[in-house]
């Protein structure tokens, strides 16, 4: 009987966590800008090769972010 109670308790804890996550997501208001597009310009500016490398890193970072 104790094993049955422990199994059900574990199941209920998982269900509670899932429900808490769902409730938190419902409480966060939807951003009206989520469905809008954007244009980002990344320039190396002054700084030579190091600035160009940093701009390339930023480009890759934003590209991966946009794809996910």
The pLDDT tens digits of the residues spanning 22-61 come to: 999 899 888 888 888 888 999 998 889 999 999 999 999 9
Residues 26-45 as b or e (16 or more Cβ within 10 Å = b): eeeeeeeeeeeeeeeeeeee
Instruction: Report how many domains make up the chain.
Output: 1
Residue-number span of the structural domain to which 57 is assigned? 2-67
Q: What is the pTM of this model?
A: 0.48
- What confidence score (pLDDT) does residue 53 get? 96
- Residue 28: predicted pLDDT: 87
Q: Does residue 62 register a pLDDT over 90?
A: yes
Stated length of the chain = 68
What's the mean per-residue pLDDT of the chain?
91
Vertex 54 angle, CA 49 and 60, to 5°? 125
């Amino acid at each position: 009987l104790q094993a049955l109670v422990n199994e059900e308790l574990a199941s209920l804890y998982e269900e509670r966590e899932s429900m808490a996550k769902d409730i938190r997501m419902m409480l966060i208001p939807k951003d009206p800008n989520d469905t809008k597009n954007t244009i980002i310009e990344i320039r190396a500016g002054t700084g030579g090769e190091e600035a160009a490398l940093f701009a390339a890193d930023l480009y890759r970072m934003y590209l991966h972010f946009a794809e996910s």
